[in-house]
Structure 1
Amino acid sequence: MQNDTQPLNDTLVSKSLSAADYVPTLDAMLARTLERIDLKKQQGLRTPDELWIVDHNDVYTLGQAGKEEHILQRTDTPIIKTDRGGQVTWHGHGQLVIYWLFDLDSLKWSVRNLVSHAEQAIEDVINDCLRSSPSNSDNISAHARRDAPGVYLYADTAATDDSTATDDSSLDNKIMLGKMASLGFKIKHGFSYHGIAINLNCDLSSFNAINPCGYAGMQMLRLSDFVAMQTDSEQTELEAQTEQQMSDSFSYETVTQKLIDNIAKRHAGLIELRAIAPK
């Protein structure tokens, strides 16, 4: 497991973990959160918040109130009970996982703010990729839902100038295609951990063994089926591509960086929450 830490600003750092097993990652995340809680309580210190960018080895995780009935088939992939919210999901290579180790009280964020910032950051990045892709017909967009946490792709029933709007009120004339991103957090003494998972170019067949996030029949989607994404072998040929070819496709790394940048701006107060439609 490789570990690379980078400062994003005075109060936020990112930490990258590749080929990470779930249990030691969770143990380290919890230990760091407890350490930060203790430093704040005992010494009044505000430690920098952290984004953990994780490439997990294959694993199914079951949330704190998760029901095992949502595991439809036992495979060789480990099933780990964990302390986040939500039901069962899968993590593995080709999926981008970002854990948000944030001091919510210092940010003056409520738990609802945290969830909305996470969902809207994902919406921003996925929609930016969709709009930038020549293969997209401009009638597919990413949206959060008030009744089910996460980010989903929708297709317009009729193309309109409003097709890139991202509030729930714009969903009346759209058909849901499926779910691309999941989220589940844990809050302890005002500090968050766990976070978000976005399917970029992973093998979606692993979701067939579960009811993803507790929803039977939920269609899981990946970004690479909607925009051109480079494979590992193609990335080695990147220098030989023209500027236009590079702009027409995305890599796992470029999408990751877009999301980190968006989250960092939200953390610094440079991107405000959009209004959320009532349920």
Structure 2
Amino acid sequence: MHSRRAITMTQFSKEIIWRRDKMLRAYPDALHYMEAKAKDIHLGKTAEELWLTEHPPLFTAGTSAKKEDLLNPQHYPTYHAGRGGQWTYHGPGQRIVYVMLDLKQPHGLVPARDIRAYVKGLEQWIILTLSRFGIEAFTREDRIGVWCIDPISHQETKIAALGIRLSRWVSWHGISLNVAPALDDFSGIIPCGIRDYGVTSLERFHHTIRMDDVDHALLSTWPKIFGSIPKAA
């Protein structure tokens, strides 16, 4: 009975690896890697992957980005990301997770070939991760991203952003979670085109938050939404 159950559980599991950068990653290098990785996943040459990284301060433009939403008084580099969405800031203290999956196959609670379910899965993954730190996060139908009530301003503020791209049903790009970034840097854009709300970070809830703690929470909550347990590369 026990062995039969084990076979049933592993029958639907997919191998997914995770890796984490120890240094800041140049954004063009990340784009190049993800594009090549997506092709290899499509061809069945490599496993799916979660890539945890950080970037130097920069702004990226999605396919819906508007010039008037880029202010950039800091004169940070800007890049066309090719993902969906508008302007996004990346910088040290922000956990980027690039999610490269073959969406022609189901993943846990996410059915095959269902983009909306995939986006919802990413949102629920972030929300579940934040709950590990006692943060009640949520989504809004009229706004993209993941939101919470800032502990200082007591206003709704954005704590995480999403941006995805699909190539032959293989996903790339992913999520950005504000752990302890320089929040003033967000003043260089209208984040995701939303002018009436600010941004926040885990650090405002927990002053001694560590990136390692956040990474552990992200990796441990992943299977609850997407099924497979990530393995270190």
Match of 1:36 among 29, 36, 41: 41
What's the RMSD between the two structures over aligned residues?
2.1
Q: Does the Cα contact within 8 Å between 1:211 and 1:218 map onto a contact in 2?
A: no
- TM-score scaled to structure 1, two decimals? 0.70
- SS of the equivalent of 1:152 reads strand
Distance 1:153 1:217, change over 3 A: same
1:15 aligns with 2:19: yes
Q: Is 1:226 matched with 2:205?
A: yes
Q: Which residue of 2 aligns with 1:234?
A: none
Q: What whole-Å deviation, never above 9, does each CA across 1:75-104 have from its counterpart, x for those lacking one?
A: 331011110011001101100110110111
User: What corresponds to 2:116 in structure 1?
Assistant: 112
| Partner secondary structure for residue 164 of structure 2 | strand
Indicate conservation of the 8 Å contact 2:124/2:225, yes or no: no
Q: Which residue of structure 1 aligns with residue 142 of structure 2?
A: 147
Q: Pairwise mapping of residues 1-279 of structure 1 onto structure 2 (< 5 A)?
A: 11-17=15-21, 18-37=23-42, 39=43, 45=44, 47-107=46-106, 108-109=111-112, 110-130=114-134, 141-154=136-149, 176-229=155-208, 250-268=209-227
Aligned residues: 209
Q: C-alpha displacement at 1:47, in angstroms?
A: 4.0
TM-score in terms of structure 2 length? 0.83
Q: Give unpaired runs (5+ residues) of structure 1.
A: 1-8, 40-44, 132-140, 156-174, 230-249, 271-279
| Offset of residue 218 of structure 1 | 2.5
- Greater Rg over alpha carbons, structure: 1
Amino acid at match of 1:103: D
Q: Structure 1 counterpart of 2:211, which letter?
A: Y
CA contact (8 A) 2:63 2:85 kept: yes
Structure 1 segments, 4+ long, off by >4 Å, are none
SS, match of residue 137 in structure 2: strand
Q: Partner of 1:99: helix, strand, or coil?
A: strand
Where do 5+ consecutive residues of structure 2 fail to align? 1-12
Greater relative contact order (CA < 8 Å, ≥ 6 in sequence): 2
Give % identity.
Answer: 28
Contact 1:61 1:88 in 2 (8 A): yes
* 2:8 equivalent in structure 1: none
Is residue 98–residue 195 contact of structure 1 (8 Å, CA) maintained in 2? Answer: yes
CA shift, 1:251, in A, is 1.4
